[in-house]
Amino acid sequence: MSKRLVVALNITLGLLIPIPVPLFAHHGSASYATDKQVVLRGTVTRWLYASPHLLLMLDVKEENGEVTHWVLESQSPTVMYPTGYRKDSFKPGDEVTVTASQARNGKPIGRIIDATTANGTKLGRLPAAATQDQPDVSVRPRP
Q: Which fold is adopted by the domain 28-139?
A: OB fold (Dihydrolipoamide Acetyltransferase, E2P) (2.40.50)
Encode the chain (143 residues) as per-residue pLDDT tens digits: 577 766 666 566 555 555 444 444 445 666 787 788 899 999 999 999 998 889 999 999 999 999 999 999 988 888 888 889 999 999 999 999 999 999 999 899 999 999 999 999 999 875 544 444 444 444 455 44
The domain ranges of the chain are 28-139
Contact predicate 68/62, CB 8 Å: yes
pLDDT of residue 126: 53
How far CA 139 is from CA of 10, 34, 47, 89, in Å, comes to 56, 15, 22, 22
pLDDT of residue 142: 43
Cis peptide before 141 (omega within 30 of 0): yes
Task: Map residue 80 onto helix, strand or coil.
Answer: helix
Contact predicate 23/42, CB 8 Å: no
